[in-house]
């Protein structure tokens, strides 16, 4: 045989990997209900407390592509187990923290475990039969969105009615459960790139470039976009990433094969992934503010954090419902059409939001529509990637695609943040984002999703060895065939 063959008993594997992605997403949104209380809880300033959120983004940005490559080299199951360790350790450190520094360390450790989702998606290619692959990929890929939407009301309820430390003790238990399930249910398959060396200089160069880039994007609004710090970080990021690209093209076993990522099918999918990330996060940033703004503004809905989470939770449930339907669409018509449809559904949701943003029920409906589109898109992107890369690069390519989605959410946060900061009203001596600002942000989300649909529409079809189009009717092309 030329590679590991799909196994027949895969229900437990898929469920475990989907739960792993959900838990990872829950950990990302875990501190959202605590944002306003963090300075008091940790005896620090609001600026320093913000690092509790930023550090997870930075560490995950670096570790996700590295975890993917290591999965190709030493085995995806082994890396999944390794990723569970910092999730448990980070949760325990956060639960025991009484000051900002150990909390930042704990949140950084949690960020190290975020590579579980791309590793899990890549593992599906090795163990799931072809007829079940598309639906499984869609479910595991959408688990990040599902966990984020469901985790918010749960975290808000715990933060409101129990000790905040219970959030982190609970996440430690969940991470330990995931590690146990992976140990007993996920099979060990041979590493696709076994025998190749790990590209340590490439990992270091990518880390420097990504940290500078993500830091400049995420903190630029606070520091000032024209400040020396922000501009300096952008310059260092550009130089580091350029040098990293030259190294990756010259080294024998690169961390990320840039020649593969430059193929039109992979490149356009990654560009669309960035735009879908922007489109998804714009609503996640705007809707909670609209729901929680005071009613006296004329457009705020005066909801509590717990009520806000409950209004947004149906969107996450809808992603879970849409994922298997997206898998059927991919089987019938291919992942390209599913990605186009997903982006169009997202843009439709934003169009509806301009008419429905004046009620909590309306925003819930909008969230359901947008998350349905995200579920379709998130299931299609890994399928497109895995049908275009060799088996030895599956995890690394999925890790890079996950990084592109994260980059999109970071850009979306920065763009929407600037819009809301510029279009404001003054009320009671306080500056608040205006209704015009929220509507502008929603229009940006709609436009970005439409652009993503256009880019997805021009993704080329898979080419057979003889040069003819193979089409994308089934995911069989995405599974390594026996020799």
With 90 as the cut, is the pLDDT of residue 227 above it?
yes
Residue 345, helix vs strand vs coil: helix
pLDDT tens, residue by residue, 428-471: 777 888 999 999 999 999 999 999 999 999 999 865 443 334 44
CA–centroid distance for 208 within its chain: 21
Exposure string of 332-360, with b = 16+ CB inside 10 Å and e = fewer, is eebbbbbbbbbbbbbbbbbbbbeebbeeb
Q: How many helices (H) and strands (E) does the chain have?
A: 18, 2
pLDDT band with cut points at 50, 70 and 90 for residue 128: confident
**Per-residue tokens: 272:** 């669309």
DSSP code per residue over 165-192: HHHHHHHHHHHHHHHHHHHHHSPP---T
CA angle centred on 98, ends 94 and 102, rounded to 5°:
50
- As a whole number of angstroms, the distance between CA 346 and CA 373 comes to 5
Query: What is the number of residues in the chain?
Result: 483
**With contact defined as beta carbons under 8 Å apart, do 67 and 83 qualify?**
yes
pLDDT at 462: 67
pLDDT band with cut points at 50, 70 and 90 for residue 100: very high
Indicate the helix (H) or strand (E) that contains 83. Answer: helix 76-96
With 50 as the cut, is the pLDDT of residue 472 above it?
no
Query: Which residues are CB-contacts of 9 (< 8 A; sequence separation ≥ 6)?
Result: none
Give the rounded percent of residues in the chain with a pLDDT score beyond 70.
Answer: 93
pLDDT at 463: 56
With 60 as the cut, is the pLDDT of residue 8 above it?
no
Residue 397, helix vs strand vs coil: helix
- As a whole number of angstroms, the distance between CA 80 and CA 120 comes to 8
Write down the pTM of the prediction. Answer: 0.84
**Per-residue tokens: 374:** 């995200």
- As a whole number of angstroms, the distance between CA 136 and CA 146 comes to 14
Query: Which residues are CB-contacts of 158 (< 8 A; sequence separation ≥ 6)?
Result: 164, 166, 167, 170
The predicted model gives 135-160 an average pLDDT of 79
The predicted model gives 120-139 an average pLDDT of 84
The predicted model gives 224-232 an average pLDDT of 93
State the chain's mean pLDDT as an integer. 86
With 90 as the cut, is the pLDDT of residue 366 above it?
yes
**With contact defined as beta carbons under 8 Å apart, do 113 and 106 qualify?**
no
Residue 426, helix vs strand vs coil: strand
pLDDT at 466: 38
With 80 as the cut, is the pLDDT of residue 191 above it?
no
pLDDT tens, residue by residue, 24-53: 888 887 887 787 788 888 988 887 888 898
pLDDT tens, residue by residue, 63-83: 988 998 898 899 999 999 999
pLDDT at 130: 79
- As a whole number of angstroms, the distance between CA 420 and CA 354 comes to 16
| Antiparallel, parallel or unpaired: β 430-433 and 424-427 | antiparallel
pLDDT tens, residue by residue, 281-301: 889 889 988 998 889 888 899
**Per-residue tokens: 328:** 């059927």
Residue 469, helix vs strand vs coil: strand
With 70 as the cut, is the pLDDT of residue 335 above it?
yes
- As a whole number of angstroms, the distance between CA 102 and CA 90 comes to 9
With 70 as the cut, is the pLDDT of residue 397 above it?
yes
**Per-residue tokens: 113:** 């475990």
Q: Which residue has the tokens 């003889």?
A: 466
pLDDT band with cut points at 50, 70 and 90 for residue 188: confident
* Residue 190 backbone dihedrals phi, psi, to 5 degrees: -60, 145
The predicted model gives 99-112 an average pLDDT of 94
pLDDT band with cut points at 50, 70 and 90 for residue 140: confident
pLDDT at 4: 45
CA angle centred on 157, ends 292 and 346, rounded to 5°:
55
The predicted model gives 155-165 an average pLDDT of 82
Alpha helices per DSSP H over 334-393: 335-356, 360-386
- As a whole number of angstroms, the distance between CA 343 and CA 378 comes to 10
pLDDT at 350: 96
Higher pLDDT: 183 or 430? It is 183
With 80 as the cut, is the pLDDT of residue 414 above it?
yes
Higher pLDDT: 344 or 303? It is 344
Burial of 234 (0-12, 13-18, 19+ CB in 10 A): middle
- Residue 318 DSSP one-character state: H
């Amino acid at each position: 045989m030329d590679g590991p063959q799909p196994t027949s008993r895969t229900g437990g594997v898929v469920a475990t990997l989907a739960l792993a992605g959900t838990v990872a997403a829950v950990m990302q949104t875990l501190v959202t209900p605590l944002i306003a209380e963090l300075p008091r809880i940790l005896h620090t300033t609001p600026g320093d407390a913000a690092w509790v959120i930023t550090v997870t983004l930075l560490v995950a940005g670096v570790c996700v592509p590295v975890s993917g490559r290591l999965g190709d080299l030493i085995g995806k199951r082994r890396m999944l187990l390794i990723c569970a360790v910092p999730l448990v350790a980070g949760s325990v450190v956060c639960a025991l923290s009484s000051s900002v520094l150990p909390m930042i360390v704990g949140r950084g450790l949690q960020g190290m475990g975020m590579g579980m989702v791309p590793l899990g998606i890549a593992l599906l290619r090795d163990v799931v039969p072809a007829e079940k692959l598309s639906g499984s990929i869609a479910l595991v890929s959408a688990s990040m969105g599902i966990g984020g939407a469901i985790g918010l009301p749960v975290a808000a309820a715990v933060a409101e009615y129990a000790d905040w430390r219970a959030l982190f003790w609970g996440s430690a238990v969940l991470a330990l459960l995931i590690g146990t399930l992976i140990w007993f249910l996920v099979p060990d398959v041979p590493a696709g790139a076994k025998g190749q060396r790990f590209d340590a200089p490439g990992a270091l160069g990518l880390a420097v470039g990504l940290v500078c880039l993500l830091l400049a994007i995420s903190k630029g609004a606070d520091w000032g976009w024209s400040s020396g710090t922000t501009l300096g970080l952008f310059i260092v990021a550009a130089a580091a990433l350029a040098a990293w690209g030259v190294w990756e093209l010259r080294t024998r076993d690169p961390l990320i094969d840039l020649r593969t990522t430059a193929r039109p099918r992979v490149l356009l999918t990654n560009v669309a992934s960035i735009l879908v990330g922007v489109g998804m996060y714009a609503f996640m940033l705007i809707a909670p503010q609209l729901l929680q703004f005071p009613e006296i503004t004329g457009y705020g809905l005066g909801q509590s954090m717990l009520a806000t989470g409950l209004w947004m939770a149906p969107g996450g449930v809808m992603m879970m419902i849409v994922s298997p339907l997206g898998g059927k669409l991919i089987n019938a018509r291919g992942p390209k059409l599913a990605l186009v449809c997903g982006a169009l559904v997202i843009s439709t949701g934003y169009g509806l939001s301009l008419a429905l943003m004046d009620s909590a029920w309306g925003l819930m409906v909008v969230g359901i529509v947008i998350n349905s589109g995200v579920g379709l898109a998130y299931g299609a992107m890994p399928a497109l990637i895995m049908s275009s890369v060799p088996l030895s690069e599956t995890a690394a390519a999925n890790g890079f695609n996950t990084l592109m989605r994260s980059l999109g959410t970071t850009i979306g946060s920065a763009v929407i943040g600037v819009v809301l900061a510029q279009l404001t009203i003054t009320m009671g001596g306080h500056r608040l984002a205006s209704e015009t600002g929220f509507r502008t942000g929603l229009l940006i989300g709609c436009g970005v999703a439409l652009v993503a649909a256009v880019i997805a529409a021009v993704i080329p079809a898979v080419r057979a060895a003889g040069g003819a189009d193979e089409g994308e009717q089934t995911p069989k092309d995405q599974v390594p065939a026996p020799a």
